[in-house]
Amino acid sequence: MDLERPKQSARKQKPGSTKAIASSISPWLASLVYFIGRHLVLPFYFRPIEVIGRENLPSDGPIILAPTHRSRWDALIVPYSAGRLVTGRDLRFMVTIDEVKGIQGWFIRRLGGFAVNTRNPGISSIRHGVELMLNKEMLVIFAEGNIFQDGEVHPLKPGLARLALQAELIEPDLGVKIVPISINYKPRVPRRHSNVTVKIGSALSAADYSQDSSKKAARVLTADLENALKTLDRN
C-alpha cells in the first residue's frame, strides 16, 4: 500500500476525507495504569516475570515492538517489559477494531491505542502508524493478528513490514527498528501463579530492506521477523 506523507495532522483533515485515526496518552491515566499493573495486578496473578534481552531495546528513534500473541495478558506484559518504567517511553498500540468498544475502548484510546480492521485494513490506520514512526514513537503491533495458545509462531501479517518500510521511504535514514519479542506462559493458557518468560531479540532495521521493490522488501522483512520470533521461542 503506497501512502503519501500526510500533509496535515490526523485531527485536521478536511471534511469529506477518509475518516482520520488518532491516538493519545492521558498522562494521569497512564501513570495510574502502569502503577497498578506493575505493582499490584501482575505480581498478584503471576510468579516473578523473567525478562531476557532488555539490552536489545533501542534507546531512541522510531521503534516497532513485534511480540508473539499468546494471551490478553500480553497487553500488560509488553509495557512491563519495555514501557515507560524501562525505556522512559510510552507505548502506542495497534489493536483490532473489535477491541476498541465500550468502556474497554475508552481506556485503550487514552492509553495510546488505535484500531485497525484486520479483515479490511483502512488506509487511515496505516497512515496513523506511519505518522507515529515519523514522530519517532514506540509502537506495538501483534503481527500474528490473533491470539494463539498452541505455543507456535503463526504466519505474520504483512502490514507491520509495509508500515515500517513506508515510513523509511517517506523519510530516508529515519532508522525504523523492529524488535521481535517472544512471550511464553507456563502453562500455555495462563492462570494464577503461572510462569512468564519474555525474550527480547535483536532489532531488525527497516533500512536494510528498503533497496528492494516494496512488495519483495515487505515479504523478506516479514519472513525474517517470523524467523527471529521462532528462534527466540526455541532458545
DSSP per-residue string spanning 18-65 = SPP----B-HHHHHHHHHHIIIIIHHHHBSPPEEE-GGGS-SSS-EEE
SS3 218: helix
**Alpha carbons 81 and 200: distance in angstroms, whole number:** 9
Sign of CA dihedral 155, 123, 57, 31: negative
Residues 76 and 41: beta-carbon distance below 8 Å: yes
Indicate whether 4 pLDDT > 80.
no
Cell of 183: 512471550
The alpha helices in 88-213, defined as continuous H runs, are 102-110, 123-134, 159-170
What is the pLDDT, as a whole number, of residue 86? 94
Read off the pLDDT of each residue in 174-198 and give the average, rounded to a whole number: 97
For residue 149, which phi and psi values (nearest 5 degrees)? Answer: -115, 25
DSSP result, 139-155: EEE-TT-S---SS-PPP
Of 19 and 46, more confident:
46
Q: Which CATH architecture has domain 23-234?
A: 3-Layer(aba) Sandwich (3.40)
**Alpha carbons 86 and 158: distance in angstroms, whole number:** 28
pTM over 0.85: yes
Neighbouring C-beta atoms of residue 207, cutoff 10 Å: 16
What is the pLDDT, as a whole number, of residue 211? 83
Indicate whether 7 pLDDT > 80.
no
Residues 42 and 59: beta-carbon distance below 8 Å: no
